[in-house]
Structure 1
Amino acid sequence: MATPIDPTSTAFLLAENRNMPMHVGGLQLFRMPDGAGKDYVREMVEGMRDVDEVAPLFLKHPHRSVRTAGQLVWKPDDQFDIEHHVRHSALPKPGRVRELLELCSRLHSTRLAWERPLWEATVIEGLRDGRVAMYTKTHHALVDGVSAMRLLASVLSTDPDQRGMPAPWGVLPERSKASRERDDAERRLEDVPIAALRSALGITAEAAGLPGALLRTLGKSVRNETSPLSLYAPRTMFNQKITGSRRFAAQDWPIERLRAIGKATGTTINDVVIAMCSGALRTYLLEQEALPEQSLVAMVPVGLKAKESHLASVEGGNAVGAVMVQMGTERPDPGDRLHAVHRSMVDGKRALSSMTPTQVLAMSALGQAPAILTPLLRMQGLVRPPYNVIISNVPGPRTTHYWNGARLLGVYPLSIPINGMALNITCSSYDGLMCFGLTGCRRTVPHLQRLLTHLDDELKDLEKAAGV
């Protein structure tokens, strides 16, 4: 039976074109259990295909016709073939991480067909160190990035001896209320850009006291201070039209290294993540002879605990918003960049803390509006971009997890570049690691993989500057 598609999901479907596939992805790396035979990967794939019952979420596809009056609806796929969705692939020799990332880049570049349910999973063998990878992609109309990651986590276990665990697309046992609430909170934080974009054209009278908040926000923006709205982001090579080809780069670093820098400098782990990106982008743009004189601006989703931020929320809990952070890319010293990022983040959170939750979202929406309107109206190059890059940091499991005995080693997110925003950096913490996933347009952001080297160099420079 067909069901209506909500306006947000419809927008993602209609916004999609050859140059902007609107799916999110994830790369998971596993180590096979001790004693695994040569047929382990084949059996792993067969176990994922031979599910007793596929969850309804993974059985529907978008459809419209005369009968639906041209409106998009979800329709069950009466020709569902799980072998189309669950695939088995192998890397060419020499089976390095480079070949793995090239394959994920190609897989992430292709659109999902509306005629089928909007998801795919590819189990990949052939890494010369014996690890097994799985690349998954899901249309954003079906599920957001964090929810997709949580679907994977829902079938993992902390017990290496547990077997008989289902595939993420199988019907899952009911989770505890605490687990659902934790997942919902993490989803809200990651979904800040989407929630803000959704509200950008429809801010209502619910934002009580909005004029005062707006005046304060505009005042800070005019003075080039950190706020949810940016008026000073420079034009960069990242802020132009993109192609449909993608390049994906991924790497992880021990969180303890980032925590040590933060402790020595009085900053946060998230500050260090942004500072790493700042130094890496500075070096990359210098190589391209394209570093602007002004600081790059990053859109960073943030969560504010009502108890700590004194938000006037009758419901308590968290308020979420977006802060436009000045990255300090014009500063040659890594320590100066870190402190500039920290000051900007503190400033931005303080600005949001003076607002109610509804005002937080409204202000974030105003900051996001140019990002969606500029490509929509084909005004790239005519107006300044609202920000230069998105940097998200999503907390994940802190302990080691397994799937039927295979140890999960890392989780690396793949995001959605759009016209005017050719680079997206998303991090996910897992088991003591900060896993970076960099997704960009292959033509607009050439040699994107060099950013991994620059991130590593910047982390070392920050350690040296902090004396750790």
Structure 2
Amino acid sequence: MTRRQTPMSAVDRSWLRMECPENPMMISAVLVFDQPIALKRLKRTLEERFLTFRRFRQRVVTEGDRTYWQDDPLFHIDNHIHVLALPGDGGKQELQTLTSDLTSTSLDFRRPLWQIHYIENYQGGCALLVRIHHCIADGISLVRVLLSLTDNSPEPRLSRVSTSSQSKAHAPQGLRQLASRALHNGQTAIDQAGLFLKSVRNEPGYPFKLATTAGNIAVDLLKLGLTPAEPDTCLKRPL
């Protein structure tokens, strides 16, 4: 049985390729709570809300010059949650130092690229340091993911969502999204064709002007492609 693979987009692949030991490409967030959070409850919340995004159950797999997201057959939430304690009184300075150290440390590429560090006994409560690789999503998207973990009331009612029912629920939704996208693209093509015909009626020389513009863009791209490499300067040194 083959594990599910999804090709990584070009933008996400570019973030992945920028990864280096001196510059880990990750997004970090620190969440501070007035009261401690039971670890069992934290894991349950993550399982029911965070892990509904399938990407957090997938690891990066490279085959030749292609990169994929692939379901991790050994996924377990305990591999991604780590309990830590700050030295001494555990104040803001110690939290900032710990955050700096962990943000400068690369994630384990054998597993899905995220970790959450539970920092206990911080100012009478606790803190969560969330580390997620940039290739998973951009900063704004990840903020929305983190906000999805929160509630409007202190004691929400949680219900376990099984993986099997989750997969079944996603299938019809995927078909609906595909049909909606096809309908949207078809309508866009019709609208663009109508605009083109209208432009031709109003200005008979419009096709020639359009071809000239396309030619100029092609020439600019050719010049850009043939531009020699930038000279080696002090601004191009490793970090």
Common fold, TM-score beyond 0.5?
A: yes
CA deviations on 1:1-59 (whole Å, 9 max, x unpaired) are 21211111111111111111111110011112xxx7xxx53344443466599331101
2:70: which partner in 1? 75
Q: Aligned letter for 1:156?
A: T
**1:28-427 correspondence runs (5 A):** 28-32=31-35, 40-48=37-45, 51=48, 54-55=51-52, 56-65=54-63, 69-127=64-122, 129-164=123-158, 379-381=233-235
Distance 1:15 1:381, change over 3 A: closer
- Alpha-carbon distance in structure 2 between the residues aligned to 1:163 and 1:378: 59
- Alpha-carbon distance in structure 1 between the residues aligned to 2:102 and 2:40: 23
Q: Which has the larger radius of gyration?
A: 2
CA deviations on 1:355-379 (whole Å, 9 max, x unpaired) are xxxxxxxxxxxxxxxxxx98xx753
- Alpha-carbon distance in structure 1 between the residues aligned to 2:146 and 2:157: 16
- Alpha-carbon distance in structure 1 between the residues aligned to 2:92 and 2:33: 13
The structure with the largest helix share of the pair is 2
Distance 1:104 1:64, change over 3 A: same
1:15: which partner in 2? 18
> Any unmatched runs of 5+ in structure 1?
175-204, 212-372, 383-417, 421-468
- 4+ residue stretches of structure 1 with deviation over 4 A? 48-53
Does residue 3 in structure 1 map to residue 3 in structure 2? no
- Alpha-carbon distance in structure 2 between the residues aligned to 1:50 and 1:111: 24
| Partner-residue secondary structure (3-state), 2:88 | coil
Q: Aligned letter for 1:113?
A: D
Distance 1:101 1:131, change over 3 A: same
| Partner-residue secondary structure (3-state), 1:78 | coil
Contact in 2 for aligned 1:48/1:86 (Cα 8 Å): no
Distance 1:113 1:54, change over 3 A: same
| Partner-residue secondary structure (3-state), 2:73 | coil
- Alpha-carbon distance in structure 1 between the residues aligned to 2:235 and 2:31: 37
Distance 1:109 1:60, change over 3 A: same
2:182: which partner in 1? none
| Partner-residue secondary structure (3-state), 2:38 | helix
Q: Percent identity?
A: 25
Q: Aligned letter for 1:158?
A: N
Q: Aligned letter for 2:34?
A: R
- Alpha-carbon distance in structure 2 between the residues aligned to 1:157 and 1:53: 13
Q: What is the CA distance between 1:137 and its match in structure 2?
A: 1.1
Q: Would you say how many aligned residue pairs link Structure 1 and Structure 2?
A: 173
Contact in 2 for aligned 1:89/1:125 (Cα 8 Å): yes
Distance 1:51 1:132, change over 3 A: same
Q: Aligned letter for 2:57?
A: L
Query: TM-score, normalised on structure 1?
Result: 0.33
Contact in 1 for aligned 2:55/2:69 (Cα 8 Å): no
> RMSD of the TM alignment (CA)?
3.3
Query: TM-score, normalised on structure 2?
Result: 0.62
Contact in 2 for aligned 1:25/1:145 (Cα 8 Å): no
